[in-house]
Copies of this chain bind each other. A is one copy, B any other.
Amino acid sequence: MPSSQPKATVTSFPDLSASVGGRIRDLRTQHGISLTALAVATRLGKGTLSELERGQRNPTLDTLFAIATALSVPLGDLLLTESSDLVRGRPHGAHVHGQSIDAELIGRWTESAEVVEVYRMTVFRGRRKSRSHTQGVVESITVVSGEIAVGVSDDPAHLISGQSHTFLADQDHFYEGLVHRSSTVLVMRYPMTPETAGEHGE
């Protein structure tokens, strides 16, 4: 028996709690709900959530599960901060967070003189405006689940699960979640520029 163990209370990483807490806060604000509302939904104490989001707590499994359920995300998503999911070892996986959207790059290649990028994009309730990108950007979005409005301001489309829409994104456009959470796949296509030309050699 290695009796010389100091109790030490290693507390593993203070930043683990902090990172999980930050992720929870991000998800909550993306859903546009207040801390009090989340407390009601999860049947957790308000103060508990406050300290938890600030990384000053070491939450239990039950607590994490209650939060994940209320935020409609799988339990693992609360823990996937940085370290875990880069095990995939791909340069992909870059996350883009934004007003009411959360996108992950899952594929990227070049096609003739164009760059093609595929995102798994989650759209939360609310509207996200997007300025024009590079000249000649074409976006195709397919709704996996949920319901969204999307497209250029003049001619938007209303999409439900299984429907798609393609539009020119080199003008002002928007993504608007019409339910709590919608899952989509976004294909973005734009002309290869000198900078993007040399990237990511096949």
Contacts and interface: CB of A to CB of B under 8 A. Distances in A.
Interface of A: 2, 5, 8, 10-13, 16-17, 20, 40, 43, 58-62, 64-66, 69, 74-77, 79-80, 83-88, 90-92, 106-107, 109-112, 114, 116, 118, 120, 138, 140, 142, 144-145, 162-166, 183, 185, 187, 189
B87 A74 contact: yes
B84 A43 contact: no
B145 A164 contact: no
Contact of A116 (B40, B83, B144): B144
Of all A-B residue pairs in the complex, the 7 with the closest CB atoms, nearest first, are A164-B164, A74-B85, A76-B76, A106-B107, A162-B166, A140-B142, A76-B85
A61 B118 contact: no
A120 B112 contact: no
Contact of A16 (B61, B88, B114): B61
A145 B187 CA distance: 12
A67 B111 CA distance: 17
20 contacts: A2-B40, A8-B43, A11-B62, A16-B61, A16-B65, A74-B85, A74-B87, A75-B83, A75-B85, A76-B76, A87-B88, A90-B92, A92-B92, A106-B107, A107-B107, A112-B145, A114-B145, A118-B120, A164-B165, A185-B187
Contacts of A74: 83-87, 110
B62 A145 contact: no
Contacts of A76: 75-76, 79-80, 84-86
Contact of A92 (B88, B109, B185): B88
Contacts of A118: 106-107, 118, 120, 185
Nearest to A163: B166
Contacts of A140: 142, 144, 162, 164, 185
Contacts of A86: 74, 76, 80, 85
A64 B65 CA distance: 13
